[in-house]
Amino acid sequence: MKKIEWNNRGMSTVHAVFITMMSVYLVFLSDLFSDQLDDPVTFRSSHLSNFTLGVSVGYFIADLAMIFWFYPSLGGMEYLYTYTFLISETTTPGINLRWFLDVAGKKNSKAYIVNGVAMFVTWLMVRIVLFIYLFYHILTNYDQVKQMDTFACVLISVAPIILFTMNVIWFSKIVKGLKKTLAKRHAE
């Protein structure tokens, strides 16, 4: 197990150094995010920035796989909970795309409807169903949660409830908006 942890920490360090160097270069040294360019900064990318993002996504997928494969040897529940929260970020691109489509006057487009349905499905899976699984996991392993320091125990017990409540509120708005959009589309 020591060898596996050694390799895992080595990979983690290499990733951290690489991503730090690339991020500093892309943000401060390259002209990719220069204010002198006219196009919106949110749409800018380069082969290098895409490659850097790909390396980072690949690392996180590999790290998550290692945590599951060797659970709990490479890290306990705190790692699984952290990744569960990070997976919820899957919904962010859809939310942002919806805003872009709205601002661009594309509310009646097929892309807007497809985005709404995709947002509904993604939100349901990663911010509702996944959180229910998280609660199940916390409850079935609560004896381990109680062994954590007080701050971590409170954080793991309270933060998911607050986030889940917010997720349910936003999900109800997504459902309401999707129904309205589909009804309007059906009426046309």
**Mean pLDDT throughout 148-156?**
81
Instruction: Write down the pLDDT at residue 119.
Output: 92
How far is Cα of residue 89 from the mean position of the Cα atoms in its chain?
A: 2
Q: What is the pTM assigned to this prediction?
A: 0.57
What is the pLDDT averaged over residues 150-159? 83
Q: Can you give the pLDDT at residue 84?
A: 67
d(CA 170, CA 32): 34
Exposed (0-12), middle (13-18) or buried (19+): which is 174, by Cβ within 10 Å?
Answer: buried
Residue 149: pLDDT band by 50, 70, 90 thresholds?
confident
Query: What is the pLDDT at residue 74?
Result: 62
pLDDT digits (tens, 9 = 90+) for 52-81: 989 988 988 888 788 777 766 666 666 666
At residue 83 the predicted structure's pLDDT band, cuts being 50, 70 and 90, is low
Closest CA to 9 of 75, 86, 72, 84: 75
CA distance 111 to 180: 16
Looking at residue 176, its pLDDT comes to 94
CB atoms within 10 A of CB 127: 22
Supply the mean pLDDT for the chain: 83
Q: What is the mean pLDDT of residues 155-177?
A: 91
Which of the given ranges, 26-30, 85-89, 183-187, has the highest pLDDT on average?
Answer: 26-30
The pLDDT of residue 185 is 77
